Structures are given as structure tokens and as C-alpha cells.
Structure 1
């Protein structure tokens, strides 16, 4: 891990196209500005960890959870419910 000391207004360049600028230093934290290309995803670590955990939990849903969700969804307009046949 690289550890640097920076003052307000000073920048850190990562690669050719990512610039991190120190915006403000307070007693309770540091505000950073990040300039990066749109195709570079920038996330706070705690948000990414929570999203990953939520996705893992959703992927492990049991059949009773799936059935409860199916009951919440209205039937498709003009169609029939999945797994049923229309009257002849």
C-alpha cells in the first residue's frame, strides 16, 4: 500500500487518466474529488461490499421466496400465466 501526505488542492494521478484531488480536510474525514473516465467504475468500499452481500443473498433465495414473489406480480396483460394453457 502506498501512503502519501497531501494538502488541500493537491492531486494524485493514477495511470494516465485518473486524478484524485484533496478537496477538504476536516477533523472527521477527508473529502476527495475523483476525475476518471466514464468507463471506470468508482465505488465506496462499504457500498460495494453491501451490494455484493445483497446479491449473494438474493441468489440464494429458496423456492418459497420465489413463489411469494410470483404471487406479487400481476399476470401479463392479454396472456396466460406461465405454465398454464389458454382455454380452447
Structure 2
């Protein structure tokens, strides 16, 4: 993991087209702005993990259900 120190108003670049800007720092919280192409998905980590877990649940196969369908 790369650790970078930034102050309010400063930015960092990821590749050539993603810019992360520190917009506000107060009370132990940091607000960041992300400027990226529309085709780049940007999610908070906790939301990303939730979506990933729900997708895993959605692809679980009920073998009993498949057997019933196969009998028909």
C-alpha cells in the first residue's frame, strides 16, 4: 500500500485520467473529490464489499431446485 500525505486542495493522480482531490478535512473526517472517466466505477469500499457479497449469494445454485426443473 502506498501512503501519501496531502493537504486540503492538493491532489494526486492515478494513471493519466483519475484525479483525487482533498476538499475538506475536519473532525477526523476527510472529504475527497474524484474526477474520473464515466466508465470508471467509483464506490465506497464498504458498498463495494456489500455488492460483491450479494453477487456471490445470487449465483449460489439450489441443487434441489435444479433437480426438480430437470424432472419436468
Shorter-normalised TM range? 0.7 to 0.9
Runs of 4+ off more than 6 Å: none
Structure 2 residues not aligned, in runs of 5+: 66-71
User: Structure 1 unaligned runs (5+)?
Assistant: 64-82, 84-88
CA gap 1:2/1:61 in 2 versus in 1, 3 angstroms: same
Q: Which has the higher contact order (CA 8 A, sep 6+)?
A: 2
- The two structures, once aligned, show a CA RMSD in angstroms of 1.6
3-state DSSP of counterpart to 2:20: strand
How far is the alpha carbon of 1:58 from its aligned partner?
2.1
Q: Which is greater in Rg?
A: 1
TM-score normalised to the size of structure 1?
0.64
Higher strand fraction: Structure 1 or Structure 2?
2
Aligned residues between the structures: 64
